[in-house]
Amino acid sequence: MEIKQGYSYHIKEEFFHKVQDKFLMSNKENGNYRPHYYAVKDKKNPDLYWMIPISSQVEKYKKIVENKKKKYGKCNTIIIGKFAGKENVFLIQNTFPIIAKYIDHVHTIENKPVTIHNELNRILIENLNEVLAMYNRGNKLMFTDVAKIKAIVETELRQGE
């Protein structure tokens, strides 16, 4: 499957079993594919994607964003933007790396892939890159164990799994 910038995807259950990270927003019970994730191609490794969970719990996260803005002057770990015609929350704080074999299918509404507008795409990539750069400097802004997950998927890439 070709993974395209500007689309969101659902992830195979196998991935969540493999990485065993309690902070991943995994699929719901009974095989439901929720949440879905916005995919951003890694700047250095074209076979790696950063998955940003998308939540519909806007009111819950608006309060958190406001508190972070008061405390730090900005919030780059939670972005609120329009997706599929309504406000949604993009949780950069819960992002994680993945490889294509674990991506199940593109998110659709009425059998049509839903895309993210160019401006929101720019904002998400900019904030993701900033948060990843801060993470690489030792600032733990993400809940997921990024280093562990990245090691797992990069090992699979090297082994050609």
Q: How far apart are CA 125 and CA 129, in angstroms?
A: 6
If you average pLDDT over every residue of the chain, what do you get?
89
pTM for this predicted structure: 0.90
* Mean pLDDT to the nearest integer, 33-42: 84
- With cut-offs at 50, 70 and 90, classify the pLDDT of residue 30: very low
Structure tokens at 112: 């049509």
For the stretch 93-128, pLDDT in tens is 999 999 999 999 898 888 888 888 899 999 999 999
Q: How far apart are CA 29 and CA 48, in angstroms?
A: 27
pLDDT of 31 > 80? The answer is no
Structure tokens at 158: 């090297």
CA angle 74, 123, 82 (to 5 degrees): 100
Q: Which of 83, 89, 94, 23 is nearest to 61 (CA)?
A: 89
Q: Which of 30-34, 56-60, 84-88, 155-159 is the least confident region?
A: 30-34
* Mean pLDDT to the nearest integer, 26-50: 78
Please report the pLDDT score of residue 148 as a whole number: 94
* Mean pLDDT to the nearest integer, 10-20: 89
Please report the pLDDT score of residue 51 as a whole number: 95
Amino acid at position 148, single letter: K
Please report the pLDDT score of residue 29 as a whole number: 47
What percent of the chain is predicted at pLDDT more than 70?
93
* Mean pLDDT to the nearest integer, 130-159: 92
- With cut-offs at 50, 70 and 90, classify the pLDDT of residue 85: confident
